[in-house]
Amino acid sequence: MVKTEKRIQALTGGLAEAALGFQRMLEQNPCQPEALVGMSLVALASSQSAAAVTMARVAVAAAPRMGTAWVTLGQALKAAGQMSEAERAYEEAIRLDGMNALARTGLGELMLATGRAEQALREYDLALRRQPAMAAAHMGLGHALACLCRDAEALERYEQALAFQPRMAEGEFAAGFVLARLGRVKDAAIRYRRALALRPDFAAAWMNLGCLLREQGADVYAEAALRRAVELRPDMIAGWVNLAQLARDRCRPDEAEAQLRRALELDERSLPTLIAWCQFRAAERDLAGAWEWLRRALEQAPDHAEAVNMQGILLHTEGRFAEAVEAFERAEALGSRAALSNRGNSLMELRRVDAALRCHEAAVERDPHNAGAEYNLALMRLRLGDWERGWAGYEARWRFREVHRAPMVFRVPRWRGEPLEGRRILLHAEQGLGDTIQFCRYAALVVARGGAAIVQVHEPVERLMHSLAVVRAGEARVARLGAEPPAFDLECPLMSLPAVFGTTVETVSWTGAYLGADPALAEERRAQLEGIGAGLRVGVAWAGNPRYKADRQRSTTLQTLLPLLRAHDVRWISLQKGEAAEQLAGLPCDVMVRDGSSRERDLAETAALVAMLDLVITTDTCIAHLAGAMGKPVWILLPHLADWRWMEEAETTPWYPTARLFRQSLPGDWAGVLERVIAALDSFGRAAGWHGHAA
């Protein structure tokens, strides 16, 4: 029997030659059990599961006490999808020899295939007691541990399997899979590449490598890897789905749709495909279409964890937060790893702050390598004033694709706060214009630490940055994003500087206005405004970047502001840019708002206009940051759940001492906000010695 087992384990190639040898043995003895077992294994290796079952049945009939025959029958039945019969075959082999390593390993594989990972652990453990160097049992044990999310233990088993059987592509692939889940992305990529060096036609390895590269923002290489995967396996649904997701990320919706259709053609009932369609339609802001695809998924599998999680996401998007919480709770119970953090977001919208925080903390504790969960927890902590932990956790944004799809890669080290001693440091913008304005103040602190700062920003704020005191003094330089900056020794993103300096609510840097207007531009603006008459001059902006994910909540319309615009005899000046500025043309005849900004080239021109105003009233946009950075009185109109930087409930902000915050008391309640602004404007006017009211 031992001889037969070794022969079976060694059968990895030369199928035609092996089959010929077994046929010769059967010509001499048609019931020769070893030959029958061998022929069954040849049939299995040739994907002929029915023939394999037939041969194995004849083998066990010829030698009912031969454990290897029963193991082979179990393997053949499992390949044929006859799981219950396969399990009985393995159990018969174990009855004959309780420590039969092949039987225990086969039974473990079957248990894994039928969702019994805990039970599989025991079978693999027993197999290894008999054969400690059995690579297949170590691999199986690794798979079982990975199914139970015990990734570090799974990695140990895969490494053990590779120690006993080096150059095993499947082992390198499995190690790459758990390394990726452990957050060791570079190591995972190395293992996938090793698997491909051993087996260049390993389609699954190409696909996983492509997914990993996509997460790292290396979209070109990711696409090449994913295309190679579907070239090798045109029937690989997951390959087409991942290609579609990449195309969607790269704003190629037609291509994404074509690839999803290809996946659907392969299997119109594929749940990953249906869920991907739902995500695609939601990304295209077609909620009705998203719901239709989700309905199809839930009809097939009402208890599918990711489908139920997607249900929660759509409910949250529609503002049905209480229902979303229920859906996320159910998805979590079904095994969704993302649902817990998502539930925290919906609870926050319901203003259940403590419960939301507990969700985010638990999500990170449960899945510490999930960048999205860590990012959500960081925003929550920043919102609640726990800045020490919040800023540290905020660094997870670099691993979170929704924030940084393709982060910049530098060859110089990241600055972590060590002495600079005259070294040149690139402080680069990374997100919106308002973020750049808010955090460029840190350039002065970097210079005070002994650094030669280069502030690299988007073109619309490039001229504005020349008003920074350290730039005017020649202690810092300004560079444009996308252009080659001057040589530098270190780098640090602007939004990472609060973490470097240990900023708390009490220690926000503010020594006064740190941005200002160019004198020549300001003089031009003064001349332009001479004819508007006496009275309070108030700038107004009502809409931000429409591409921003939460813009629908933070932006409003000029029509919504009419009660404010009619309330006082104010000289209203629009600071609005973009398509929203076109709303000025639709104002009623009794309301006068002068267009001050729609034709501006950049924010340096806006700053010159703001310098001429008495007050700025704006929703949460870069105008709010600009006015605040200039030390101008600014009233910021905020949605019910405002951005994290405005924290909770406060009417002031440590970022801008001249700012006042007006928050919605209920979702969408701009009317209530405007009532308070109108009353405050009356007080502001009296304090300024102005007593004019609307007729």
Interval 257-316: pLDDT, tens: 999 999 999 999 999 999 999 999 999 999 999 999 999 999 999 999 999 999 999 999
The answer to whether residues 531 and 545 touch, using CB atoms and an 8 Å cutoff, is: no
Give residue 15's pLDDT. Answer: 59
Give residue 11's pLDDT. Answer: 43
Residue 98, SS3? Answer: coil
Considering 100-104, 124-128, 148-152, 340-344, the range whose residues carry the highest mean pLDDT is 340-344
In percent, how much of the chain has pLDDT > 70?
95
The whole-chain average pLDDT of the chain stands at 90
Round to whole Å and give the CA distance between 585 and 112: 66
The contacts of residue 456 (CB under 8 Å, 6+ apart) are: 426, 427, 428, 429, 478, 479, 480, 481, 485
170 sits in which H/E element: helix 169-181
Give the pLDDT confidence of 535-593 residue by residue, as tens digits.
899 999 999 877 777 777 788 999 999 999 998 789 999 999 999 999 999 999 889 99
For strands 490-493 and 476-480, give the pairing.
Answer: unpaired
The answer to whether residues 46 and 15 touch, using CB atoms and an 8 Å cutoff, is: yes
The answer to whether the predicted template modeling score (pTM) of the entire model surpasses 0.75 is yes
Give residue 689's pLDDT. Answer: 66
Round to whole Å and give the CA distance between 545 and 228: 37
Which is higher by pLDDT, 490 or 36? Answer: 490
pLDDT at residue 13 is higher than 70: no
Give the pLDDT confidence of 449-481 residue by residue, as tens digits.
999 999 999 999 999 999 999 999 999 999 999
Round to whole Å and give the CA distance between 69 and 252: 55
pLDDT band at 357 (very low <50, low <70, confident <90, very high): very high
Give the pLDDT confidence of 48-58 residue by residue, as tens digits.
888 888 888 88
Instruction: For 327-344, give one letter per residue: b (16+ CB within 10 A) or e.
Output: bbbbbbebebbbbbbbbb
Architecture label for domain 519-687: 3-Layer(aba) Sandwich (3.40)
